[in-house]
Chain A
Amino acid sequence: MRHLMSPLDFTPEELDKLFDLANDIENNPAKYAHACDGKILATCFYEPSTRTRLSFESAMIRLGGRVIGFSDAASSSASKGESVSDTIRIISCYADICAMRHPKEGAPMVAGEKSGIPVINAGDGGHQHPTQTLTDLLTIRSLKGSLGGFTIGLCGDLKFGRTAHSLINALVRYDNIRFIFISPEELRCPDYIIEMLKKKGISYSEVIRLEDVMPELDLLYMTRVQKERFFNEEDYIRLKDFYILDTAKMGLAKEDMLVLHPLPRVNEISVEVDADPRAAYFRQAQYGVYVRMALILTLLELA
């Protein structure tokens, strides 16, 4: 039995198989409409996350399976003080696979250690959100044709943004990728990531202005300045509008550059950019369902 705790749990070869399956699901949905008949997914969400939870639920339902679960800690037995270890032992009796989101870092790993069914980490605090990274990788591979040989700009909150950190860690396993980190001084990429890139000899640069590097990018990964990561309201207000992608900035970009965003956006991408064919963030959400379908099939050993 296998779990998914980090995007690095799968080798690049295993990810290729997973993404091939996701693309096959995309192209032949009817073939998979009953692949999970009789199977149950438990969505154990100890904190609200409509998007990720609905993506998992949609994935299981599209595979012919059913879904049980809770969408916040208040409606779970955690409110009575039950431990994650005990909860997962019970859930293992009710479901065949579990997607867990928890505000505490490492909670899904604890669940995985005690579980009788595969556990998918659906986000644990500021730590990991592996299915978002799998979504990002599938989107890039599907729309760019490969996972290598490009320049990617990551823009916004690179200090606290776990999706950006996960994506960088996942992409360094592929060849000829150049990173450009675009952020205010206060939200720069953590030192340990910079050190890792230096150690691996991977090309990177850090800039402050998005306009300066737009023409160089093959991919632009925008992130939100998340209010909940700040202790201080004043800092949040000062930094949140630092980088806004609009049509003027898009005018500087290559014709085939793609804009990705883990969503939800606040105002870092102007609504006017949505009509640009290079805006790929809504297609990215669709790929999120395909990759979760492929993941469920893989972990249930039905692929």
Chain B
Amino acid sequence: MLNVGKIEEGFVLDHIKAGKSLDLYDHLQLDKLDCTVAIIKNARSDKLGKKDILKVECNIDMLDLDVLAFIDHNITVNVIKNGIIVEKKVLTLPGQIRNVIRCHNPRCITSIEQELPHIFYLADTEKEVYRCKYCEEKYTETAKTNR
């Protein structure tokens, strides 16, 4: 059994799909934070079989929940204060995401005008489809992993 120490204030991201914690680490830009981060890979899980967990000792406000929800809205977010879980946040898919992913359509105006923001909107909640605001190109999982 692996023991990782308790955190006093911060958040624990639980039920991350096994192997995805490093993607989350990059996306949440945790490398830029001067705080304790524990990455637990392939932990045993009744629900998922295997899962990853991220423990981050910093203020919850530092976390962009929209980005997190876009990556995987099934992740459980436990907010920790004084060493105990004070809140479990439910993630919902954001209606719009800005500059999180890039449009890879070579015919899109964003491919030539560099100053434009890359904005995607939620086009289909059921199928979790995001489309570029400008060219309506569908954002695919393949592009997601290549970001």
Q: A: which residues have CB within 8 A of B?
A: 83-85, 102-107, 109-110, 124-127, 192
Which chain B residues border A105 with CB–CB below 8 Å? 105, 107-109, 134-137
Nearest Cβ in chain A — how far from B107, in angstroms? 5
| B62 on the A face (CB < 8 A) | no
Least CB separation from A104: chain B residue: B109
Nearest Cβ in chain B — how far from A7, in angstroms? 13
Asked whether A109 lies within 8 Å of B113 as measured between CB atoms, the reply is: no
Asked whether B107 lies within 8 Å of A84 as measured between CB atoms, the reply is: no
Asked whether A106 lies within 8 Å of B115 as measured between CB atoms, the reply is: no
Extra inter-chain contacts (16) besides given A105-B108, A105-B109, CB under 8 Å: A84-B109, A104-B109, A104-B112, A105-B136, A106-B110, A106-B133, A106-B134, A107-B109, A107-B134, A109-B109, A109-B134, A110-B134, A124-B109, A125-B135, A127-B135, A192-B138
| B54 on the A face (CB < 8 A) | no
| B65 on the A face (CB < 8 A) | no
Of the A-B pairs whose beta carbons lie under 8 Å apart in the complex, a sample of 30, sorted by A's number, is A84-B113, A85-B113, A85-B115, A103-B107, A104-B107, A104-B108, A104-B112, A105-B107, A105-B108, A105-B135, A105-B136, A105-B137, A106-B108, A106-B110, A106-B133, A106-B134, A106-B135, A110-B109, A110-B113, A110-B116, A110-B134, A124-B109, A124-B135, A125-B107, A125-B135, A126-B107, A127-B107, A127-B135, A127-B136, A192-B138
- A104–B138 CA distance with the chains assembled, in angstroms: 16
Nearest Cβ in chain A — how far from B99, in angstroms? 16
- Most chain A CB inside 10 Å of its own CB: which residue of B113, B134, B136: B134
Which chain A residues border B136 with CB–CB below 8 Å? 105, 127
Least CB separation from B129: chain A residue: A192
| B111 on the A face (CB < 8 A) | yes
- Most chain A CB inside 10 Å of its own CB: which residue of B109, B112, B113: B109
Which chain B residues border A110 with CB–CB below 8 Å? 109, 113, 116, 134
Question: DSSP class of A's interface residues: helix, strand, loop or mixed?
Answer: mixed
Nearest Cβ in chain A — how far from B35, in angstroms? 38
Which chain A residues border B133 with CB–CB below 8 Å? 106, 109
- A253–B110 CA distance with the chains assembled, in angstroms: 46
Which chain A residues border B116 with CB–CB below 8 Å? 110
| B7 on the A face (CB < 8 A) | no
Which chain A residues border B67 with CB–CB below 8 Å? none
- A175–B43 CA distance with the chains assembled, in angstroms: 55
| B132 on the A face (CB < 8 A) | yes
- A167–B136 CA distance with the chains assembled, in angstroms: 17
Nearest Cβ in chain B — how far from A123, in angstroms? 13
Nearest Cβ in chain B — how far from A5, in angstroms? 10
Nearest Cβ in chain A — how far from B23, in angstroms? 27
Least CB separation from B134: chain A residue: A106
Which chain B residues border A192 with CB–CB below 8 Å? 138
Nearest Cβ in chain B — how far from A102, in angstroms? 7
